[in-house]
A = this chain, B = another copy of it.
Amino acid sequence: MLDARTVLTVGDLELDVELAVGDGEVVALLGPNGAGKTTVVRALAGLAPLEAGHVRVDDRTLDDPSRGTFVPPEARPVAVVFQDHLLFPRMSVLENVAFGLRSRGVRRHEARDAARAWLDRVGLADRTSDRPAQLSGGQAQRVALARALVTEPRLLLLDEPLAALDATTRLQVRSELRRHLDGLSGARLLVTHDPVDALVLADRLVVLERGRVTQSGTPAEVAARPASRFVADLVGLNLLHGAAAGEHLVRLPAGGELVVAEPPPAGPLALAIRPQAVALHRTAPEGSPRNAWQATVVEVEGSGDRVRVTLGGSVPLTAEITAASAAALGVVPGERGWATVKAVDVDVYPS
């Protein structure tokens, strides 16, 4: 169980993050580059001493300036997967993975067996005798992962542990990791930029921006009601801001208006709209959708059999349609057309 408030300054970033991770819980720490995620990890591991606040694991205080307590990294029950791997270049892959157990006093051959088992799990059984310099980026990252996981710590800190993995390996390692995490009793913190990683692996998300926590909750909550552009982009939702302008009406800064299902609360509002809920038409549509407006195609991004269309104009949105209908409609940047959204598809909440 982790209970921490990390207050420290690196460069001109003033970090102040409260974190609580229960036993067996996996918390994903998300945030823009430079938000302070790695710094939090370093602080929890004891590599960056706190200026204020505290770090407690299983009610043991590891760092607390006010009380002058500081437990050095080597004495903490933690393990870290570093963003840049930091494998030991002069050791073989096997020695790297066995290192944690060895330096915690496990006998050589036991440590090596455990290490081998883990290297096998991450699909590197055949690279045990190589040096890190002989590994590819993704292989190195998997070794780093194995090196941390093999020590079964009370607090596991994973800093973008899957960033360098290819699609297939990622699927395998991710479910491998998930299975392992489910098995662990300690607290786990996962730093990632990949929403899928977060959604698949984490029980709870904590969003860090400019050194502060801006949102936290279950994946569903966060995904449904993003509090910031960052989260919206992350989960691929459209996020608009506006204010109530009538019983069922919300006015946007850009000038556009949207009809919504329930009467909107007063004050500044956030509107979340799934790209799939935005339909496109060549001509002004008739029928059910309560919101319809003319829009200009700004950008078209294809992925697989779906196409994401970025729309400009009074209601800046991204629509997601099938490649087929995109072709049918002839959607190309610069084109003008009509966009519609059902009132029920506009999710309104205070921001």
Binding site for B on A (CB under 8 A): 10-11, 31-35, 37-38, 83-84, 130, 134-139, 142, 160, 163-171, 175, 193, 195-196, 199-200, 219-220, 223, 229-230, 233-237, 274, 276, 299, 301-305
Contact = CB atoms under 8 A, between A and B. Distances in A.
A84 B137 contact: yes
Contacts of A170: 193
A303 B195 contact: yes
A137 B164 contact: no
Nearest to A195: B303
Nearest to A173: B33
Residue among A34, A130, A170 with the highest chain B CB neighbour number at 10 A: A34
Given A33-B165, A137-B38, A305 B193 contact: no
Contact of A175 (B84, B164, B299): B299
A97 to B, nearest CB: 17
Contact of A233 (B167, B229, B236): B167
Contact of A32 (B134, B168, B302): B168
Copies of this chain, whole number: 2
Contact of A166 (B33, B139, B171, B199): B33
A165 B196 CA distance: 15
Contacts of A138: 32-34, 193
A266 to B, nearest CB: 28
Given A136-B33, A138-B34, A193 B164 contact: yes
A299 B174 CA distance: 12
A84 B83 CA distance: 11
Contacts of A303: 195-196, 199-200
A86 B130 CA distance: 22
Nearest to A159: B137
Residue among A165, A301, A305 with the highest chain B CB neighbour number at 10 A: A305
A195 B134 contact: no
Contacts of A274: 304-305
Nearest to A197: B303
A236 B199 CA distance: 17
